[in-house]
């Protein structure tokens, strides 16, 4: 099974804590293996994610503070590819970019921004593919969700998580949780 890891660049602890938390939760829930918050640390987010993974299962790793260049270099040295999500990239529906990503049969590092990303992100030496989830600017959380769902063809929504202490039993109404 091909692996996806998400790298978030540009997190500002005072402004972005809630959105970054949502992006990490989205990555975990929609099939990514792990998340790297590059170039900065946010202890609160790490605690929240570790708590969620402890209760709701994994496997899912969270790392922070690593320089993005180091992450990209190491990822490529292990023959993974880098996909940068940007409104300026190749449209995921009107181009064959997703097909080309999948036929590479390589693990994917998905790079998402926050504030305006460094120009280098668009270059060949960083991103193997620049992918647009539609060519309108919107949100890193929405673009990540659509990319993951397209990549895994919706199957990630049926997966069960290992070592979960709590599990939701789907209901027409109300809430049902089983605890181990
Ligand atoms: C709120 S946007 C900020 C973009 C920033 N103003 C700029 O010009 O680069 C934050 C991130 O969301 C993602 N994003 C936003 N719209 C997107 C789209 N249509 N397709 C793919 N990614 C998108 C990108 O990863 C981007 O770095």
- What does the pLDDT read at residue 1? 81
Nearest to residue 83, comparing CAs of 37, 133, 45, 42? Answer: 133
Indicate the SS3 state at residue 66: coil
Task: Note the pLDDT tens digit of each residue in 34-90.
Answer: 999 999 999 999 999 999 999 999 999 999 999 999 999 999 999 999 999 999 999
Between the CA of 16 and the centroid of ligand 1 the distance, in Å, is 14
Please choose from 113, 131, 134 the residue to mutate so as to test ligand 1's pocket, defined by most ligand atoms within 8 A of CB: 113
| 141 C-alpha to ligand 1 centroid (Å) | 9
pLDDT at 100 (0 to 100): 98
**What residues does ligand 1 touch, defined as CB less than 6 Å away?**
85-87, 112-114, 116-117, 132-134, 136-140, 143
Atom from ligand 1 closest to the CA of residue 114: 10
pLDDT at 168: 97
Q: Which domain holds residue 73?
A: 4-179
For the chain, the domain total comes to: 1
Sign of CA dihedral 75, 106, 127, 40: negative
**CATH number of the domain encompassing residue 85:** 3.40.1280.10
Give the pLDDT confidence of 132-163 residue by residue, as tens digits.
Answer: 999 999 999 999 999 999 999 999 999 999 99
Mean pLDDT of the chain: 97
* 3 state DSSP class of 39: coil
pLDDT surpassing 90 at residue 6: yes
How close is the Cα of 109 to the center of ligand 1, in Å?
16
Which of 89, 137, 146, 151 best tests ligand 1's pocket when mutated (most atoms within 8 Å of CB)? 137
Distance 85 CA to ligand 1 centre (A): 7
CA dihedral 139→160→154→147, nearest 10 degrees, is 30
pTM of the full structure: 0.97
Distance from chain centroid for Cα 173: 30
- Report the separation in Å between the CA atom of 69 and the middle of ligand 1, taken as the mean of its atom positions: 19
Residue 179: pLDDT over 90: yes
DSSP-derived secondary structure for 123-177: STTT-SEEEESSSS---HHHHHHHHHHHHHTTGGGGPPPBT-SEEE---SSS--E
Helix axes 13-29, 140-152, angle to 10 degrees: 10
């Amino acid at each position: 099974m091909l692996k996806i890891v998400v790298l978030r660049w540009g997190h500002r602890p005072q402004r972005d804590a809630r959105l970054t938390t949502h992006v990490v939760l989205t990555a975990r829930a929609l099939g990514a293996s792990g998340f790297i918050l590059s170039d900065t640390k946010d202890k609160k987010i790490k605690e929240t994610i570790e708590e969620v993974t402890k209760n709701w299962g994994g496997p899912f790793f969270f790392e922070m503070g690593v320089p993005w260049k180091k992450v990209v270099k190491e990822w490529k040295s292990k023959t993974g590819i880098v996909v940068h999500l940007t409104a300026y990239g190749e449209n995921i529906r009107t181009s064959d970019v997703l097909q080309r990503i999948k036929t590479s049969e390589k693990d994917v590092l998905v790079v998402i921004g926050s504030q305006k990303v460094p120009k280098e992100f668009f270059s060949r030496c960083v991103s193997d593919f620049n992918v647009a989830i539609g060519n309108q600017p919107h949100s890193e959380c929405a673009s990540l969700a659509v990319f993951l769902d397209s990549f895994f063809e919706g199957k990630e929504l049926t997966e069960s998580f290992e070592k979960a202490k709590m599990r939701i039993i789907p209901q027409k109404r109300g809430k049902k949780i089983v605890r181990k």
